Chains A and B, each alone.
Chain A
Amino acid sequence: MTRFNWFNATTLTLGFAFLYLPIILLMIYSFNESRLVTVWAGFSTKWYQSVFSNESFMNAAWVTLRVGFISASLATVLGTMAALVLNRAGSFKGKTLFTGMIYATMVMPEVITGLSLLLLFVSLDFTRGFWTVTLAHITFSMCYATVVISARLVTFERSMEEAALDLGCTRFSAFMQITLPIIFPAILAAWLLAFTLSLDDLVIASFASGPGATTLPMKIYSQVRIGVSPEINALSSILIAVVAFGVVTASLITKQAHAKRMKEEQQAHSST
């Protein structure tokens, strides 16, 4: 099975066409001169200019980036802790509840998560806005971060940590010197995932936000309800390009780190 057979090749071509054509069409039409989205009237970058000169888009983008940065960073810290709890802390009272909450957060319909968080903020008398959206995003993205980091913790050999402890390392320094470097690519991937999730979220942000903190998806949504516009096409294309670039770079970094580690491990084995 080293070659594609025609059936599998056709299936994959059709499958990927289905997955990618809508996005590609959207990007093509973002360069359309005409405001009528389906009539091609020549190449133009004017919609990109109008996106960058639109102050409300830029404000929303700035809010979104700040929410994404803060929530992804805190979610990664909490997710790393939670992953260690699941894989390294042994058993304790209420572990089932803990695992259950992590799973449930991920599969919960967004409308329910959004509604419940909003009602919490109202009960606590929090002013809704930037920080409530950030808190909401930390909560759901930390669970995805936990799963990503956990997957890495499960597969790596604990013998190295044990060796460090045997050689007199404290637990904390064993974690800093052995565990952390090994799981670092997973932590990076978790941060990126958390950041993208925050960047994408419409439903939870709509519930958790208040006046003055409109995120980019909320802004896009209010425009989309009116109909298709070339500005939204241009804005979407920018977002897609940024995310695609980030993801591809991250996966290349991870691949390189993996190859380097394999090489080092091999060297370590051969020198003994």
Chain B
Amino acid sequence: MALADITTPSQETEQASVQGSGWRRSLLIAVPYIWLLVFFLAPFVIVLKISLSDVVLARPPYFPTFDISEGWQGFVAMFQAFDLENYVWLTEDTLYLKSYLSSLKIAFISTMIALVLGYPIAYALAKAPKEWRSTLLMLVILPFWTSFLIRVYAWIGILKKEGVLNYVLLWSGIIDEPLTILNTDAAIYIGIVYSYLPFMILPLYAVLEKLDYSLLEAATDLGCSPFKAFWVITLPLSVSGIWAGCFLVFIPAVGEFVIPDILGGSSTIMIGKTLWVEFFSNRDWPVASAVAILLLIMLIMPIILFQKQQEKQAEASQ
């Protein structure tokens, strides 16, 4: 998959000879590098700084602010005003701990459901006739291009009490009374699985397509049942795809805001939503920053693991 490609280690010496050196090369490196430093890395330093500040009724609504005209003195004064108050606050109010835990739980369960649903689809794609594959693959990717918000919104009309799903279930006599699905955790699971299923299918497909199916034939020839052959051969050989898919679903699901906000109820709290409320409703920027920093710390492990796994895969495919 594409993500694996950019970490492919290549023949550095040869490259250097192609590109050479000089001001053009420096410029080529400097422009995107500086852009990312300014608009990606610097903002995180600011978030960290504000998470250590206090909330005040002012513009901007935090203290201390760094005044460059005061020079070094101002810098020192700023540091002296920092404290961990916001982080202490996060441990005192159980709302935040609950938000983190429930985000992890919801993301984990959704990832597992996506895996169980995505695996057979990826498998069927990989085994589909060759001339069909690229079209089918495009059909998997296409929903990813249409607006996330709209795809989540589409489920309201289906899941609500007088919605399409209840209508069909009542009409077919499966249930006697309409189910309450919208504004429950179930709706969030459906929303996350639906939105992120392509992320699960694609890396699984990439692995399953390359799988050497003669191994399976050999196993069946030697008296293995198809089920056992799958369990002993196919599954272990697709582990890298399983990991990639799970990370790609789990990581964004933890910080998800739109799905719990639109499909979930008020009793379901997820950390992305808590951060949003803290920022936009309570206007407490320092606490929102502290929530963001802790969320980041929570996600660093899975992100690093994902990157390591991608690098390993890239090396293996060479």
Contact surface of A with B, Cβ cutoff 8 Å: 1-5, 7-9, 11-12, 15-16, 18-20, 22-23, 25-26, 29, 37-38, 78-79, 81-92, 94, 98-105, 107, 109-112, 115-117, 119-120, 122-123, 135-136, 138-139, 142, 146-148, 150-151, 154-155, 158, 161-162, 165, 171-172, 196, 199-200, 202-203, 206-207, 217, 220-221, 224-225, 227-228, 232-233, 236, 239-240, 243-244, 247, 251
Beyond A15-B121, A98-B29, 16 extra complex contacts between A and B, CB < 8 Å: A15-B120, A22-B155, A38-B160, A83-B6, A89-B29, A90-B13, A91-B12, A92-B29, A101-B37, A110-B257, A150-B2, A171-B20, A200-B147, A200-B148, A233-B157, A247-B142
The reply to whether A112 and B295 contact each other, CB–CB distance below 8 Å, is yes
B77 part of interface (Cβ distance < 8 Å) = no
The reply to whether A109 and B299 contact each other, CB–CB distance below 8 Å, is yes
Give every chain A residue within 8 A of B252 (Cβ-Cβ): 107, 109
The reply to whether B276 and A111 contact each other, CB–CB distance below 8 Å, is yes
Q: How far is the CA of A107 from the CA of B252 in the complex (A)?
A: 7
The reply to whether B43 and A102 contact each other, CB–CB distance below 8 Å, is no
B164 part of interface (Cβ distance < 8 Å) = yes
Q: How far is the CA of A138 from the CA of B35 in the complex (A)?
A: 10
Give every chain B residue within 8 A of A100 (Cβ-Cβ): 307
The reply to whether B36 and A101 contact each other, CB–CB distance below 8 Å, is yes
B184 part of interface (Cβ distance < 8 Å) = no
Contact status of A23 and B151, CB under 8 A, knowing A1-B127, A88-B18, A147-B6: yes
Q: How far is the CA of A206 from the CA of B7 in the complex (A)?
A: 32
27 inter-chain pairs at a CB distance below 8 angstroms, sorted by A residue, are A11-B124, A12-B124, A15-B120, A15-B124, A22-B151, A38-B164, A38-B167, A88-B15, A90-B13, A90-B15, A90-B16, A107-B251, A107-B303, A110-B257, A110-B272, A111-B257, A119-B43, A119-B47, A120-B43, A139-B36, A202-B258, A207-B279, A220-B150, A221-B258, A225-B262, A240-B146, A240-B150
B188 part of interface (Cβ distance < 8 Å) = no
B10 part of interface (Cβ distance < 8 Å) = yes
B149 part of interface (Cβ distance < 8 Å) = yes
Q: How far is the CA of A199 from the CA of B149 in the complex (A)?
A: 11
B202 part of interface (Cβ distance < 8 Å) = no
Q: Which of A20, A86, A92 contacts B143 (CB 8 A)?
A: A20
B115-150: CB near A (< 8 Å → 1, else 0) gives 001001101110111100000101110110111111
The reply to whether B129 and A200 contact each other, CB–CB distance below 8 Å, is no
The reply to whether A11 and B150 contact each other, CB–CB distance below 8 Å, is no
Residue on A nearest B307 in the bound complex, by CB: A103
Q: How far is the CA of A110 from the CA of B148 in the complex (A)?
A: 13
The reply to whether A220 and B153 contact each other, CB–CB distance below 8 Å, is yes
The reply to whether A119 and B50 contact each other, CB–CB distance below 8 Å, is yes
Give every chain B residue within 8 A of A146 (Cβ-Cβ): 6, 32
Q: How far is the CA of A50 from the CA of B303 in the complex (A)?
A: 45
The reply to whether A120 and B46 contact each other, CB–CB distance below 8 Å, is yes
B315 part of interface (Cβ distance < 8 Å) = no
Contact status of A221 and B127, CB under 8 A, knowing A19-B140, A81-B31: no
7 tightest Cβ-Cβ pairs between the two chains A and B: A109-B255, A116-B43, A90-B16, A8-B124, A15-B121, A22-B154, A82-B32
Give every chain B residue within 8 A of A37 (Cβ-Cβ): 157
The reply to whether B10 and A119 contact each other, CB–CB distance below 8 Å, is no
Q: How far is the CA of A23 from the CA of B145 in the complex (A)?
A: 12
Q: How far is the CA of A100 from the CA of B256 in the complex (A)?
A: 22
Give every chain A residue within 8 A of B276 (Cβ-Cβ): 111
Q: How far is the CA of A244 from the CA of B18 in the complex (A)?
A: 39
The reply to whether B147 and A240 contact each other, CB–CB distance below 8 Å, is yes
B94 part of interface (Cβ distance < 8 Å) = no
Contact status of A228 and B40, CB under 8 A, knowing A110-B255, A244-B142: no
The reply to whether B149 and A220 contact each other, CB–CB distance below 8 Å, is yes
The reply to whether A23 and B143 contact each other, CB–CB distance below 8 Å, is yes
Q: How far is the CA of A87 from the CA of B257 in the complex (A)?
A: 35
The reply to whether A236 and B150 contact each other, CB–CB distance below 8 Å, is yes
B68-81: CB near A (< 8 Å → 1, else 0) gives 00000000000000
The reply to whether B158 and A19 contact each other, CB–CB distance below 8 Å, is no
Contact status of A158 and B18, CB under 8 A, knowing A19-B140, A120-B46: yes
Q: How far is the CA of A107 from the CA of B249 in the complex (A)?
A: 10
Q: How far is the CB of B200 from chain A (nearest CB, A)?
A: 11
B232 part of interface (Cβ distance < 8 Å) = no
The reply to whether A165 and B18 contact each other, CB–CB distance below 8 Å, is yes
- Comparing B83-91, B235-243, B284-292, the segment that makes contact with chain A is B284-292
Q: Which of A26, A90, A247 contacts B19 (CB 8 A)?
A: A90
Q: How far is the CA of A155 from the CA of B129 in the complex (A)?
A: 25
The reply to whether B19 and A171 contact each other, CB–CB distance below 8 Å, is yes
The reply to whether A154 and B28 contact each other, CB–CB distance below 8 Å, is no
For window 173-208 of B, CB contacts with A under 8 Å fall at 194, 197-198
Q: How far is the CA of A158 from the CA of B14 in the complex (A)?
A: 10
Q: How far is the CA of A240 from the CA of B254 in the complex (A)?
A: 27
